[in-house]
Structure 1
Amino acid sequence: MTNDSDAAELCEPFVVQGPLFTLLNDRSVGTYTYLDNGSMVVGDQGKILYVGPSVPAEYSHYQVKKTRHLIFPGFIDAHVHYPQLPVIASYGASLLEWLDKYTFPEEAKYSQRPYAEKRARQFLELMLKRGVTSAAVFSTIHEEAFDALLGAASYSGFNLVSGVTAMNRGAPDNVLVDVGLFKEVSAKAIESGRCVERFRYAITPRFAISCTEGMLEYCGRLLESNPSLLMQTHINETKEEVLATSNLFPHATDYLDVYDAFGLLSDRSLFAHGIYTTESEYERWAASGASVIHC
């Protein structure tokens, strides 16, 4: 695996000038800047050095490229699965059927490093071509899949949140990992990501019904023990999934309560979908500072 400084390709620094839109470091509504003729300075490693109305004197010798196209920040995709790229638009009558028929067989292939590396490159190329420069990405249970994605992101400068998927029931054996092995693989993955710029590790229990209580308990302990880590998972995506969760965790008051009981509800938690969410769950999300990604 290469680190960003090793992989960065030198290029001639330049300035792009044209209509420019950028957000400000403020979460209030309407906090943005639009300039009819703004300037963006790009350094010799592809890093943006300056954005504003005019070019500072220190960059005045850079080549200037004029454009009529709108200059704006990269998009952020807060929930996406890179192994699902080959099965996009595959038909399934329900989420769980679709997973069994298409997704799990595809994910099993990511135990092979060459295949995982090929798909990781394709995935990030596709994201970048569409203007996505940052994403929270689900991988698979396989160390090879995570390493491939991290390596590709490091090389391209993509801003990545990801982690090895935790999943030890409710699927074929070749896409499951027991708690002991998951601990080992997670520790290695967290360590390998420390030297990679623009990366943050996310503990990733796929969803409640794919994890035993022991797996969820370990994920919660790991999140509590390391404040630099995030947590990403799914919640309330389909009625079938909500019912299955209720059956597997009968003592939980609702879906969110399952995660909360194992220490997975915090301001570092990302919950995907949240379609069939109760008022009580919304209130607890707000109180905890967790993020919900509707997609």
Structure 2
Amino acid sequence: MQKTELSAFRAPLLHFLDDPGLDAAQPDSYVWYPDGLLLVADGRVQAIGPANELLPTLSADVPLEHWPDRLIVPGFIDAHVHLPQLGVIGSYGAQLLDWLETYTFPAERRFGDPDWAQTQAARFMDELLRHGTTSALVFCTAHPASVDALFQAAENTGMAITAGKVMMDRHAPADLCDEAEQSYRDSRRLIERWHGRGRLRYAVTPRFAPTSTPEQLTLAGRLMSEYPDVLMQTHWAENKAEIAWVRDLFPERHSYLDVYDHYGLLTERSVLAHGIHIDDTDRNRLAQTGARIAFCPTSNTFLGSGLFDLPAARASDVAVGLATDVGGGTSLSLLATMGEAYKVGQLNGRALSPFQAFYLATLGNARVLHQADETGNLEPGKQADFLVLDPAATPMLAHKQAPDASLSERLFDLMILGDDRCIQRSYVAGVCRYDRSPTTRALIA
């Protein structure tokens, strides 16, 4: 029998056991060890607890890294991001529908080249890890090769990635459109090839209602019924012009949400990006069906789409995740995204607490993506996806350091002033997949 290789990581340590609430954090919702120890073996968490309790249980040959001035948290999870859009991030001066025509479609066209898709998929995974993202729900392009490339790159790193081929058979450039029956067959082949292979899962991916014919939406719904454990991802109610367009295209449906509902695309495994311009009827239907919203604050403000009302969604028992939405979003960093979500909350009259922000980026997103049995926190038995954060990574963060700062204050500094520079290391299934500065070493005991 092969011997289990145990590794130990000592540092201040935080993870969540439940939703902390929007305001003052519920005391039983998180675990905070000012001096904690994380034990990892065979890619999974073996134990977590106070260092002074667990250290005496270790044999002398167990490798131990000590990060006394860092912070260990679970790996960040992105609830909505686009593989082909790294090259158009931060592009000037367009709202949603113009953005698609000017920037998105030209970028996606290049993924018809399998070699380009493979190169970009590897780069995309590297960038996720550099920004502290160890798991994500990803839009590929209409090209099946883009999905193959992404899943292969994810498999190479051991990351838990859910993704799908864009289904789009109208109102887009002809060379990016598929055909309804063909996209159904392509999606089926990709599901059979990749879904459930290791840590990979498939998401049925109609881009949004305007770019799919009723026939294609019907077939997307069929995929959901044929493969009940896949996810569904799409866009919804992001932009007022988009909503008016949907009203013209589907006059027989009483709302934008009803379009998805009618075609069998509104279930507890559905993740709808944005959901800005909605009402209580929409929220109640989301709660009834269990469908979730991916809140994308940086893209919503950058594209001028509007301000998502997180408290209203939560009051209606709608599950909400946090997402970067790159390239409409302006950073792959979930830390920066937390900061923008806080500003959206301020403009809506209710600020986002740092505990809620870190919960959303970890266990909250794991729950939204139906993977909380494997990721989202560091309970024993789960995949050892975690980060070593540097709370003094920049001069301004270092200036803010105070020995008597509360945990809330420390987290708030990270979410407002932090970005990818705060990611010291990213671990996937216990393996270090990104190290910001290899010359900076932990204290080895």
Matched, 1:237 2:238: yes
SS at match of 2:100: helix
Residues 58/85 of structure 1: CA separation in 2 closer, same or farther (3 Å cut): same
Distance (Å, rounded) in 1 between the aligned partners of 2:143 and 2:94: 28
Distance (Å, rounded) in 2 between the aligned partners of 1:128 and 1:51: 23
> Deviation per CA, 1:152-198, whole angstroms, max 9, x where unpaired?
11111111111111100011011111012212211111011145222
Task: Report the alpha carbon displacement of residue 286 of structure 1 after superposing the two structures with TM.
Answer: 1.1
| Alignment partner of 1:52 out of 44, 49, 52 | 49
Q: Structure 2 matches for 1:175-190, cutoff 5 A?
A: 175-190=176-191
Task: Report the alpha carbon displacement of residue 23 of structure 1 after superposing the two structures with TM.
Answer: 1.5
CA RMSD of aligned residues (A): 1.7
Task: Report the alpha carbon displacement of residue 46 of structure 1 after superposing the two structures with TM.
Answer: 4.8
Distance (Å, rounded) in 1 between the aligned partners of 2:137 and 2:12: 29
Please say if residues 141 and 176 of structure 1, whose CA atoms lie closer than 8 Å, have aligned partners that are also in contact.
Answer: yes
Matched, 1:38 2:31: no
Structure 1 match to 2:211: 210
Q: Structure 2 matches for 1:91-130, cutoff 5 A?
A: 91-130=92-131
**Stretch of structure 1 that moved more, 207-216 or 88-97:** 88-97
SS at match of 2:72: coil
Distance (Å, rounded) in 1 between the aligned partners of 2:56 and 2:174: 59
Residues 60/279 of structure 1: CA separation in 2 closer, same or farther (3 Å cut): farther
The unaligned stretches of length 5 or more in structure 2 are 297-445
Structure 1 match to 2:91: 90
Structure 1 match to 2:435: none
SS at match of 1:72: strand
> Deviation per CA, 1:51-98, whole angstroms, max 9, x where unpaired?
333258466631111102000001111011111110001124321111
Distance (Å, rounded) in 2 between the aligned partners of 1:27 and 1:243: 35
SS at match of 2:146: helix
SS at match of 2:85: helix
Please say if residues 232 and 271 of structure 2, whose CA atoms lie closer than 8 Å, have aligned partners that are also in contact.
Answer: yes
Identity %: 40
Distance (Å, rounded) in 2 between the aligned partners of 1:188 and 1:27: 37
SS at match of 1:77: strand
Matched, 1:285 2:286: yes
Please say if residues 91 and 98 of structure 1, whose CA atoms lie closer than 8 Å, have aligned partners that are also in contact.
Answer: no
Higher relative contact order, structure no. (Cα contacts within 8 Å, ≥ 6 residues apart): 2
Distance (Å, rounded) in 2 between the aligned partners of 1:66 and 1:271: 41
Residues 195/252 of structure 1: CA separation in 2 closer, same or farther (3 Å cut): closer
The unaligned stretches of length 5 or more in structure 1 are 1-11
Structure 2 match to 1:3: none
Matched, 1:168 2:161: no
Total equivalences in the alignment: 282
Q: Structure 2 matches for 1:250-261, cutoff 5 A?
A: 250-261=251-262
TM-score by length of 1: 0.91
**Stretch of structure 1 that moved more, 59-68 or 249-258:** 59-68
Please say if residues 188 and 223 of structure 2, whose CA atoms lie closer than 8 Å, have aligned partners that are also in contact.
Answer: no
Structure 2 match to 1:64: 64
TM-score by length of 2: 0.61
Distance (Å, rounded) in 1 between the aligned partners of 2:110 and 2:222: 30
Distance (Å, rounded) in 2 between the aligned partners of 1:195 and 1:255: 31
